[in-house]
């Protein structure tokens, strides 16, 4: 059964569109299960009914004409019960509803399973038999497994089909994702395709078919030459079997049927890249679906060959693409590097199919004040290059081809935001102080030079977290000590005499350096942050030396260590910092030893906060990671983003515990996770006694306005109440109501 399951899923994955997907399902399931009938019903959102969309065995003329409401007939019952219905005699069931058009009176045995995607019943998969018999447990389990696997593919195919139809009529289409960075962006999509990836070549039409055919033929010729040359060069190092691979590549390129298929699609006005990618992917899938493992393994070769030719196509085109005036960057998995390539004045928003609000690219987006939607899983992103978009970063929604009316609505939200920003402008010069005179340091998190200007304009009193990995991410090798010194100097100078907290390199997890790949099954629990740099003292020492050299004459540097999970790591890192300091003093630098602090972002550090506090000059809670580790929710996984609650009661208890233990250990305690930049979260942190709240510059005015409007004594009563609550949703609502009660509704997201 596993073999059939896999081959059906692979075939379905290779299908071009929704009708092809459904056709493969009904045809193959009927064949594999030896049934008389297999049908698929899909939900029609307009009529809220389930419509017969494909069948083998029922009257084909009934397709599109049989509609069942939830609860109506057997299919409707599968929908409402959200579980399979398996009947020996369908006609004897009280819910049985006979549709003469289908001709189904000939069939007795019925098995229907729901197709569920993101907790929604997308459709029902049904098999039927003429004789009276119950499908056995194995058959039922098979259909359930298949439905679960097909749900995502069907959802994606539906979205793509809807978009293609809408594209022709230029009708508005809405997609949902996760609200990752607040604000609204109205602009034009610019797709970032990773180099030479067949699966992400944007769908695009060409204007000049002859030129595109020429481009394609030239790319084939170049690829052929390249493969021959490489084969020649490696001849002596390869055995016979390995050499055969090069011959196989060449003969595939010489295979005229592939060239004909691609040329046909180009003649239908597809670009050469897209036509090549489509054809090669179909071949890849055909190989993947083969039962013989030798042929299955060849799929990787075909994919590799496809990527090579694609690279040549790209090289020839050499299109230095112009970014639209209002660029909304869209990609399968956006990276900080892709973001940095767009001129800042043109970039207005971001959309990523993968990732969540806590991914690093989302954090950078917030820091830059760019509205962003992450985890837009159903978005057929490769088909929307150059299209008009509206990104609603408050709700995590995205509109393709927005209607004039929708645009007007969003234009007015943008105007409201500008108005709010203008109203908060005057706060820049005022201190972060509550109405009853309690002072809280409001600092900023930075990473890019662009953050500096925004931060100073908004009245930042210091930097609570400078993410040094950002300049590392934007290069193709480790920056040298001198290069680092220059970058750090810029930060320190820009903020002097205000303190700047520089975090030592925190790579690993989802922050991968292209030139220092870390391959792990479980990267967030793996070689991350301080673990990497303690294992590579040459990197750590170089960085710390660069920071200290950069601070000469300014003395506003603080060094912070990420991912500390116990005293031993802190002590080992301290030794290296002290060594670097001693070396620099010996070398003649006039520097003072900077304060040394740690991040509290691993649960073990919460329980050792007191011991750690006694050994450091300051502590800062990294609530983004602390939340993910306490709740066991990957901060980067959009599937479980709904389980990620920075205001979870367990997180709030941990946060209270850290500040209490830190103060007992006579050290100042700050927080630099995203929670600090949330007006509601800031109220609780103020009440807990946090000395420093460090956030992105965008949120700073909102948080300052909030703190200046409350008295600390009142927030302590609020905290008391909140700490008795048991679920995060209740806490979130309580905080929102509290802010509304203070007349601060404007600081919440617009309705």
Q: Spot the catalytic one: 156, 360, 401, 645.
A: 360
Within 710-739, which residues bind ligand PEP (CB under 6 A)?
none
Closest approach of ligand PEP to the CB of residue 652, in Å? 15
Is position 156 annotated as part of the catalytic site? Answer: no
Within 31-50, which residues bind ligand PEP (CB under 6 A)?
none
Match 């950069």 to its residue by tokens. Answer: 550
Going edge to edge, which strands form the sheet with 120-129? Answer: 67-68, 49-56, 37-44, 120-129, 109-117, 85-87
Closest approach of Mg ion to the CB of residue 180, in Å? 17
Cβ neighbours of 327 (radius 10 Å): 21
**Interhelix angle 679-688/728-741, nearest 10 degrees:** 100
- Spatial distance between the Cα atoms of 473 and 341, rounded to a whole number of angstroms: 12
- Spatial distance between the Cα atoms of 731 and 713, rounded to a whole number of angstroms: 19
Strands 388-392 and 397-400: antiparallel
Within 615-634, which residues bind ligand PEP (CB under 6 A)?
622-625
Q: In the complex, which residues of this chain contact Mg ion (CB under 5 A)?
A: 601, 622, 625
Could you give the string, one character per residue 518-557, with x where binding to ligand PEP holds by CB under 6 A and - elsewhere?
----------------------------------------
- Coil, helix or strand for 647? coil
Residue among 613 and 675 whose Cβ is closer to ligand PEP? 675
Counting contacts by CB under 6 A, is residue 560 touching ligand PEP?
A: no
Strands 173-176 and 49-56: unpaired
Residue among 76 and 529 whose Cβ is closer to ligand PEP? 529
Residue among 465 and 688 whose Cβ is closer to ligand PEP? 465
Within 476-515, which residues bind ligand PEP (CB under 6 A)?
506
- Coil, helix or strand for 350? strand
Closest CA to 398 of 716, 186, 121, 714: 186
Counting contacts by CB under 6 A, is residue 467 touching ligand PEP?
A: yes
Residue among 200 and 352 whose Cβ is closer to ligand PEP? 352
Closest approach of ligand PEP to the CB of residue 17, in Å? 40
Closest approach of Mg ion to the CB of residue 388, in Å? 36
Residue nearest to ligand PEP (CB): 622
3-state helix, strand, coil in the chain (%, to 5): 55, 15, 30
- Spatial distance between the Cα atoms of 392 and 397, rounded to a whole number of angstroms: 5
DSSP 431-461: -SB-TT--B-EEEEEE-SHHHHHHHHHTT--
Residue among 159 and 602 whose Cβ is closer to ligand PEP? 602
- Binding partner of 694, given Mg ion, ligand PEP, none, CB within 5-8 angstroms per partner class: none
- N-to-C CA span, the chain: 51
Is position 672 annotated as part of the catalytic site? Answer: yes
Counting contacts by CB under 6 A, is residue 378 touching ligand PEP?
A: no
Residue among 135 and 618 whose Cβ is closer to Mg ion? 618
Residue among 440 and 465 whose Cβ is closer to Mg ion? 465
- Binding partner of 349, given ligand PEP, Mg ion, none, CB within 5-8 angstroms per partner class: none
- Binding partner of 673, given Mg ion, ligand PEP, none, CB within 5-8 angstroms per partner class: ligand PEP
- Spatial distance between the Cα atoms of 552 and 13, rounded to a whole number of angstroms: 59
Closest approach of ligand PEP to the CB of residue 620, in Å? 8
Counting contacts by CB under 6 A, is residue 187 touching ligand PEP?
A: no
Contacts of residue 598, defined as CB under 8 A and 6 or more positions apart, other chains included, come to 560, 561, 564, 570, 605, 612, 616, 619, 620
- Binding partner of 499, given ligand PEP, Mg ion, none, CB within 5-8 angstroms per partner class: none
Counting contacts by CB under 6 A, is residue 352 touching ligand PEP?
A: no
Residue among 624 and 706 whose Cβ is closer to ligand PEP? 624
Residue among 302 and 600 whose Cβ is closer to Mg ion? 600
Residue among 347 and 561 whose Cβ is closer to ligand PEP? 561
Residue among 158 and 510 whose Cβ is closer to ligand PEP? 510
Q: What angle do CA 148, 398, 447 make, to 5 degrees?
A: 100
* 168 membership: H or E segment, kind and range: helix 137-169
Residue among 76 and 509 whose Cβ is closer to Mg ion? 509
Residue pair 130/36 in contact by the 8 Å Cβ criterion: yes
Closest CA to 715 of 697, 740, 739, 695: 739
Residue 497: is the preceding peptide bond cis (ω within 30°)? yes
Contacts of residue 624, defined as CB under 8 A and 6 or more positions apart, other chains included, come to 358, 363, 601, 635, 646, 673, 674
- Spatial distance between the Cα atoms of 416 and 422, rounded to a whole number of angstroms: 10
Residue 149 dihedral angles phi and psi, to the nearest 5°: -75, -30
Counting contacts by CB under 6 A, is residue 451 touching ligand PEP?
A: no
The number of residues in the chain equals 751
Closest approach of ligand PEP to the CB of residue 363, in Å? 6
- Spatial distance between the Cα atoms of 527 and 512, rounded to a whole number of angstroms: 11
Closest approach of Mg ion to the CB of residue 115, in Å? 38
Closest CA to 25 of 165, 217, 157: 157
- Spatial distance between the Cα atoms of 218 and 682, rounded to a whole number of angstroms: 60
Counting contacts by CB under 6 A, is residue 465 touching ligand PEP?
A: yes
Closest approach of ligand PEP to the CB of residue 621, in Å? 7
Closest approach of ligand PEP to the CB of residue 510, in Å? 9
- Binding partner of 465, given ligand PEP, Mg ion, none, CB within 5-8 angstroms per partner class: ligand PEP
Closest CA to 371 of 187, 628, 643, 635: 187
Closest approach of ligand PEP to the CB of residue 303, in Å? 33
Q: Spot the catalytic one: 67, 206, 401, 672.
A: 672
- Binding partner of 692, given ligand PEP, Mg ion, none, CB within 5-8 angstroms per partner class: none
Closest approach of ligand PEP to the CB of residue 419, in Å? 31
Number of amino acids touching ligand PEP (CB under 6 A): 11
- Binding partner of 467, given ligand PEP, Mg ion, none, CB within 5-8 angstroms per partner class: ligand PEP
SS (H, E, C) 522-549: CHHHCCCCHHHHHHCHHHHHHHHHHHHH
Among 139, 569, 601, 634, binds ligand PEP (CB under 6 A): 601
Among 63, 155, 373, 672, binds ligand PEP (CB under 6 A): 672
Residue among 458 and 467 whose Cβ is closer to ligand PEP? 467
Counting contacts by CB under 6 A, is residue 673 touching ligand PEP?
A: yes
Query: Within the chain, what is the greatest distance between any pair of CA atoms?
Result: 95
- Binding partner of 508, given Mg ion, ligand PEP, none, CB within 5-8 angstroms per partner class: none
Closest CA to 510 of 354, 326, 302: 354
Closest approach of Mg ion to the CB of residue 84, in Å? 44
Closest approach of ligand PEP to the CB of residue 695, in Å? 10
Counting contacts by CB under 6 A, is residue 363 touching ligand PEP?
A: yes
Residue pair 563/602 in contact by the 8 Å Cβ criterion: yes
- Spatial distance between the Cα atoms of 638 and 9, rounded to a whole number of angstroms: 23
Cβ neighbours of 93 (radius 10 Å): 15
Sites of contact with ligand PEP (CB under 6 A):
363, 465, 467, 506, 601, 622-625, 672-673
What positions carry a catalytic annotation? 360, 672
């Amino acid at each position: 059964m596993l073999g059939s399951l896999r081959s059906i899923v692979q075939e379905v994955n290779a299908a071009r569109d929704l009708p092809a997907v459904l056709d493969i399902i009904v045809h193959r399931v009927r064949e594999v299960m030896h049934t008389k009938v297999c049908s698929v019903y899909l939900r029609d959102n307009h009529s809220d009914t389930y419509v017969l969309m494909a069948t083998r065995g029922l009257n084909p003329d009934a397709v599109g004409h049989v509609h069942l409401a939830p609860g109506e007939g057997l299919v409707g019952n599968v929908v409402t019960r959200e579980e399979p219905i398996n009947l020996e005699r369908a006609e004897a069931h009280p819910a049985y509803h006979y549709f003469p058009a289908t001709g189904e009176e000939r069939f007795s045995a019925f098995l229907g399973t729901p197709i569920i995607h993101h907790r929604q019943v997308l459709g029902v998969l049904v098999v039927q038999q003429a004789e009276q018999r119950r499908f056995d447990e194995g058959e039922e389990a098979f259909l359930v497994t298949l439905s679960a696997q097909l749900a995502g593919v069907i959802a994606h195919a539906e979205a793509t089909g809807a978009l293609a139809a809408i594209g022709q009529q230029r009708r508005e289409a809405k997609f949902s994702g996760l609200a990752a960075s607040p604000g609204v962006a109205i602009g034009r999509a610019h797709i970032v395709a990773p180099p030479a990836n067949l699966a992400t070549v944007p769908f695009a039409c060409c204007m000049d078919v002859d030129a595109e055919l020429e481009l394609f033929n030239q790319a084939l010729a170049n690829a052929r030459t390249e493969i021959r040359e490489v084969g020649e060069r490696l001849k002596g190092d390869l055995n016979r079997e390995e050499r055969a691979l090069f011959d196989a590549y060449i003969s595939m390129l010489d295979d005229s049927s592939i060239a004909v298929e691609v040329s046909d699609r180009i003649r239908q006005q597809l670009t050469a890249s897209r036509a090549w990618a489509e054809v090669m992917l179909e071949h890849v899938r055909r190989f993947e679906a083969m039962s013989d493992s030798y042929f299955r393994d060849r799929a990787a070769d075909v994919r590799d060959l496809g990527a090579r030719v694609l690279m040549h196509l790209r090289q020839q085109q050499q299109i230095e693409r112009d970014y639209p005036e209002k660029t909304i960057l869209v990609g399968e998995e956006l990276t900080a590097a892709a973001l940095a390539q767009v001129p800042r004045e043109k970039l207005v928003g971001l959309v990523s199919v993968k990732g969540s609000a806590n991914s690093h690219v989302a954090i950078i987006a917030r820091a830059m004040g760019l509205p962003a939607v992450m985890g837009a899983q159903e978005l057929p992103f490769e088909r929307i290059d150059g299209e008009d978009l509206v990104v609603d970063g408050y709700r995590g929604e995205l509109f393709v081809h927005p209607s004039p009316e929708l645009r007007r609505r969003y234009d007015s939200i943008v105007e409201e935001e500008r108005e709010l920003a203008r109203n908060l402008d005057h706060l820049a010069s005022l201190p972060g102080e509550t109405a009853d005179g309690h002072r809280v340091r409001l600092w900023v998190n930075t990473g890019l030079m662009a953050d500096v200007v925004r931060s100073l304009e908004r009245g930042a009193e210091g930097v609570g977290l400078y993410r040094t990995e950002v300049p590392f991410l934007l290069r193709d090798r480790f920056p040298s000590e001198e290069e680092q010194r220059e970058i750090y100097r810029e930060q320190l100078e820009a903020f002097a005499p205000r303190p700047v907290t520089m975090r030592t390199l925190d790579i690993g997890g989802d922050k991968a350096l292209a030139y220092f790949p870390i391959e792990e099954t479980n990267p967030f629990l793996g070689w991350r942050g301080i673990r990497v740099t303690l294992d590579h003292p040459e990197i750590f020492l170089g960085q710390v030396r660069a920071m200290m050299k950069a601070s000469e004459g300014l003395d506003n540097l603080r060094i912070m260590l990420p991912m500390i999970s116990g005293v031993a790591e802190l002590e080992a890192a301290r030794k290296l910092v002290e060594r670097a300091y001693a070396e620099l003093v010996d070398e003649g630098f006039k520097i003072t030893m900077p304060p040394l602090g740690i991040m509290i972002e691993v649960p073990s550090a919460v329980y050792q906060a007191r011991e750690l506090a006694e050994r450091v000059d300051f502590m800062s809670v990294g609530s983004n990671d602390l939340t993910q580790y306490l709740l066991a929710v990957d901060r980067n996984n959009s599937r479980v983003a709904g389980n990620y609650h920075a205001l979870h009661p367990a997180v709030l208890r941990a946060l209270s515990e850290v500040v209490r233990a830190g103060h007992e250990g006579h050290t100042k305690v700050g927080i630099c996770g995203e929670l600090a930049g949330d007006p509601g979260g800031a109220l609780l942190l103020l009440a807990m006694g946090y000395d420093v709240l460090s956030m992105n510059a965008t949120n700073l005015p909102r948080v300052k306005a909030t703190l200046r409007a409350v008295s600390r004594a009142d927030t302590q009563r609020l905290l008391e109440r909140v700490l008795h609550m048991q679920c995060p949703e209740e806490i979130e609502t309580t905080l929102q109501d509290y802010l509304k009660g203070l007349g601060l509704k404007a600081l919440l997201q617009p309705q």
